[in-house]
């Protein structure tokens, strides 16, 4: 019996990166929804209640950190794992992302296996 398809929302302002992350998740068997800015991404998260979110930090409208805080402060969204994928790779940036509530913090460029593994681990699917 196949596992129920899990939904991943990708919030990434760079169109090519958004499509690449979405395709990585589709190939891994997930249903994927995309947003290229934070405001529509937040609406999508609230309406869809995805199984996980792949989130960029540097966004043109609302910081990915603010999206993360928005989720962590909403009891219905607080438990959704968030995999941050960011070009911000300084230890202080990573610490800030994890403190804001990221489940996993990956730095760009990120490879297919690293992203797949991070999402599966965040969903409790790895090493079963």
- Could you report the per-residue pLDDT of 34-60, keeping only the tens digit for each? 999 999 999 999 999 999 999 999 999
pTM metric for this prediction:
0.94
Which CATH code, of 3.40.50.2300, 2.60.40.10, 3.20.20.190, 3.40.50.10880, is assigned to 7-122? 3.40.50.2300
Burial 49-74 (b: 16+ CB within 10 A, else e): ebbbbbbbbebeeeebbebbebbbee
Residue 31: phi and psi, rounded to 5, are -85, 130
Mean pLDDT along residues 23-30? 96
Could you tell me the residue ranges of all domains in the chain?
A: 7-122
């Amino acid at each position: 019996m196949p596992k129920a398809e899990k939904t991943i929302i990708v919030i990434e302002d760079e169109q090519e990166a958004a499509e690449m992350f979405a395709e990585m998740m589709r190939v891994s068997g997930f249903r994927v929804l995309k947003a290229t800015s934070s405001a529509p991404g937040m609406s999508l998260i609230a309406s869809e209640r995805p199984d996980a979110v792949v989130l960029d930090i540097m966004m043109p409208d609302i910081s990915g950190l603010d999206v993360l805080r928005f989720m962590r402060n909403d009891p219905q969204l607080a438990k959704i794992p968030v995999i941050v994928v960011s070009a911000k790779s300084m230890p202080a940036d990573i610490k800030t992302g994890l403190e804001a509530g990221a489940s996993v913090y990956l730095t760009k460029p990120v490879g297919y296996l690293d992203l797949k593994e991070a999402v599966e681990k965040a969903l409790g699917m790895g090493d079963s």
